[in-house]
Chains A and B, each alone.
Chain A
Amino acid sequence: MLASALKSSSHKRMGSRTIVAAMLVLLVLSASIHLSQAAPDAPSVEWNKTFNGIHGNSVIQTADGGYAITGYVGYQAVLVKTTSSGDVQWQKSYGPEVFGGDASAVSVVQTTDMGYSLFSAAGVLVKTDAEGSVQWNKPLGAAGVREGVSSSDGGYLLVGNSKAGSGDDVAWLLKTDEQGSILWDKKFTGGFVVYAVIETADRGCALAGNWKNDFWFAKIDSNNNLQWSQTYSYGGPSDVHHVSSIAKAKDGGYALAGAGYWLSSNGIVPWMIKIDSQGHEKWNLPYGGTPHNGYSAVVQTDDEGYVLTLSSSAGLVRTDTSGSEKWTLTYANINAQNTGGLSGNIVALYSASSLIRTSDGGYATVGTDFGNTLWLTKISPEPDVQPPVVSVSSPKSKTYDTSDISLAFTVNELASWIGYSLDGHDNVTIAGNITLSGLSNGDHNLTVYVKDIAGNYGASELIRFNIVGRFPVEWLFAGVAIAAAVIVGVLLYFNRHALSTYKNQGFRGFFKKQRVSAIAENRMLRTLIIMSLCLGMVFVQIFFPYFYFSSSSRSSNSTFEVGVTYVYERDNVGQIYDEVSHIHDLGIRIIRVNMVCDSIDAVGYLNGMTDVFFSAVQSLNMHVALIIKNNEDINELNFYLGRWGKYLTYVQILNEPESSSSWDVGALFTDDETTSKFEQVCSTVEQAQLSAQLYTNFGAGFLARTNLPIKFSEKLDFVGLDVFMDSFLTLSPNMVQLLHKITNKDVVITEFGMSTSDDTVQSEYIIKGLNLFKSMGLKGCWIVYWNSAENYYGIRGRLAEKTVGEWIAQNAKTK
């Protein structure tokens, strides 16, 4: 009985253990399922299309959303045009009579007339119409073409390889115009082999391949000069490496994808290198996940990661920005049936040759299996699992003295719903930036919520702000007025004679001669009246010009130009062209910049950055105003003016006494030093014999140091005035008139802005100023576009940017 009871008890314990174990297994399973769901998912294959008998080399997405694929069939080049679903629309073949001896089309680009330009391995550029019919072909006299791309000027860049008489490898680079006429070519002798070329942001180009056994990358500027060339060496002397593909990175650098053939370990490894804009290696990653393979193409993703296609299998590898793997995807089921009968130790069933990003954010690849079947694969965009990022620019976590505060924010992606919660109350749906009106005094907190199109919710950080009552200026004025009335009343009371006269004669008698005389003969009253009139006239002198120019609708001044100050050295080099282009799109044609250069390292990072900037402004036909500090190193200045001086339209020499060594003693004693430094810089600029106009700038402080503008203006073409707060804006007509009077030069507002986190206030101030300056007949006004992310001076990305663009479209000169 006892034993039976124990057994029963034991069975029950075992049963409960089994249940617990089962529950644990379920828990672990469910946890693992949950984890796999939470991880960023790989995209899916939307479709695969195969084309028997074609070897594919390259694919592009065409303007109609379809695809154009180049390759070869036997001894004929081929161009296949498909729909966006991969269905063939037409296919054209071209024999050696068109494409030269090696009738293989290595690359294709679509031209502005919707036709195509094909590059043959034999060195022939072939132009077709939109249906693939040959319009013309042009032998370039250079066989061994590896890749051809279009350039932004409508021409083409081609790279390829040949052999020197000594048997050494020679890499060549060739630039043609849009008709295929060679503009220039460049050779790299001594063992260089090139596989890839891209156009860079500065309208130059970059090419990559290998030098002997090392990775190799070279940067060429827009004038066909080699800026720098770099090799990257890994492993032992017998280990071979090469770059197959280049991708421009958003940080201004480049990602290089290729392979390392490590003979010592008898292995081939996919390899990726990230370099900065000057070729310095940031990291390199041999990818051990798929041995006996390499990378054949790389593209950068929106989040600055990378997608790479493996060269010897139908696989994609997705990395983050530091090269760490996020997911892999096998996009084609290629099995032994596709090997064309090859067997044994064959590891590569498939050869991938091209990878592109498609307009929907997905990818398309082209490869060929060993049965000589071309595979076109469309891969979906990556599932959006990231919540939207909401950045609130107003309100800030600070104290406000107004009950109406603008709510301004930005979201990093398209939103399907936006709302905010104030003080923990229910969400209020909004369409965009609004003004929060009638807020009560006291502490408040605010969060903005956004739902993206994929259904992910994002929230801003909690903004805590405080509202306090504004100082009652109106009441102060009313009090002063009442006090003045009381004082006048008291004075009249004590002048009994005059007062009794008013009583006897009534109000009408006030205007009679004897009554006027009675007032006039009162010494104290007369003094009071005269003092009041003086005060009134002082106010008129100060404020009349501002109110006159603000309110008058004078005829428009067609020469008024809006410029901006852009501190490009605080941007990534990759952003500079886009920013300059964006400024151009706003209608702005003048950019004021700091002097950024490095005279020691002519091919250094800073000079490269300035090259990119000037390349951008040249291509967009914009004017540059250069700021030179008056304590600038003369060697640096000579270097800068020698290299970029010819591109300058305006040169500004600062005259700030802060740069004088005696500034600490007191500003009033620094004039001599300020003047001598100014004149030193001025004479250096004059020696450079630039065509640029020379000017300097003054703040409101020039009113106390009027000797400086008088002295400096003798050598200047015009003078600048800086206006950066509301009170200075009100006084600016007076300051402009005085500055013009003492210098006898035109005055331009060369620095204009307001440092405030309130977008609406800044925007209204800027527009008010532009209207005022234009009405005053000034030649222009240069706004602070961007100083840095740490201050609120700039209009970049803010409401004022939009309103300035609209204002320019209606008012200013843009050509």
Chain B
Amino acid sequence: MLKTLKPNKQIFIHGLIITLTLVIIQLLLDSYQNSLLLYMPPIGFALFLLISYGIQPIVIGVLNVIILNRLYNCEGWQTGFWLNGFFLLLTFSTFNILLQTITGLPFSPYIAAADIFILLYPFGRLGKFSNRGCKKPNPQQTSTPSATSP
């Protein structure tokens, strides 16, 4: 089990991309939240919900599958894009709520910075855990369990 949790480069790269994406989307949403909510009420509110819990998870889910397929030489996916992205988003937001509740600090910049450092490795693992395609058949690399794509 310890072997499976051993850090490696792919996991950090995976975690960094997912975490950075989530942080950037969160910062963008925070910036434009009030503009959205004020847009033709309640249509703006509905749009905000659609972006937050509809489009954002799909973006994250697709991104996760792309990363998995590129980093771990896989193809296809098991978990749906939305559910995969929603899971990662919920994990991210739950962690933020815990941190914000306990510290009383705002998301930007304190929690965002903490997210990038703290969630790097866990999100590499979670991204891999939450979805996984089938390995591409590669007859030239029979000894390598998971070859990394360039």
Contacts and interface: CB of A to CB of B under 8 A. Distances in A.
A742 B33 contact: yes
Contacts of B4: 513, 516
A490 B27 CA distance: 43
Interface size grouping (class) on chain B: 20 to 34
Given A538-B90, A545-B97, A704 B1 contact: no
A807 interface: no
Contacts of A537: 90-91, 93-94
Q: Which of A527, A530, A540 has the most CB of B within 10 A?
A: A530
Contacts of B129: 520
B79 A707 contact: no
B42 A707 contact: yes
B101 A545 contact: yes
Contact of A705 (B34, B41, B98, B130): B41
Interface string A534-566: 100110110011001100000000000000000
Contact of B87 (A521, A530, A544, A733): A530
Contacts of A582: none
A493 B21 CA distance: 39
A707 B90 contact: no
B104 interface: yes
Contact of B79 (A530, A704, A733, A777): A530
Interface string A498-514: 00000000000001110
A440 to B, nearest CB: 44
Interface size grouping (class) on chain A: 20 to 34
A432 B3 CA distance: 68
Chain B interface main SS type:
helix
B101 A544 contact: yes
A513 B42 contact: no
B114 interface: no
A512 B38 contact: no
Given A520-B129, A704-B45, A531 B94 contact: no
Chain A interface main SS type:
helix
A523 B78 contact: yes
Contact of B84 (A530, A538, A548): A530
B55 interface: no
B101 A733 contact: yes
B133 to A, nearest CB: 10
B54 interface: no
B79 A526 contact: yes
Contacts of A579: none
B100 interface: yes
A511 B104 contact: no
A540 B91 CA distance: 10
Interface string B116-135: 00000000000001101000
A706 to B, nearest CB: 5
A645 B33 CA distance: 37
Contact of B37 (A527, A540, A549, A742): A742
B101 A548 contact: yes
Given A530-B83, A541-B93, A521 B132 contact: yes
Interface in B1-39: 1, 3-4, 33-34, 37-38
Nearest to A667: B42
Given A520-B132, A704-B45, A707-B44, A531 B104 contact: no
B81 interface: no
Nearest to A675: B41
B93 to A, nearest CB: 7
B72 interface: no
A531 B82 CA distance: 11
Contact of A710 (B37, B84, B98, B130): B37
Given A534-B87, A545-B101, A706-B45, 8 more contacts: A527-B78, A533-B87, A540-B94, A544-B101, A549-B101, A707-B41, A707-B42, A707-B45
Nearest 7 CB-CB pairs, A to B? A707-B41, A537-B90, A537-B94, A523-B78, A513-B4, A706-B37, A530-B87
9 contacts: A513-B4, A516-B4, A523-B78, A526-B132, A541-B90, A544-B101, A668-B42, A705-B41, A706-B45
Interface of B: 1, 3-4, 33-34, 37-38, 41-42, 44-45, 78-80, 83-84, 86-87, 90-91, 93-94, 97-98, 100-102, 104, 129-130, 132
Interface of A: 511-513, 516, 520-521, 523, 526-527, 530-531, 533-534, 537-538, 540-541, 544-545, 548-549, 668, 671, 704-707, 710-711, 733, 737, 742, 777
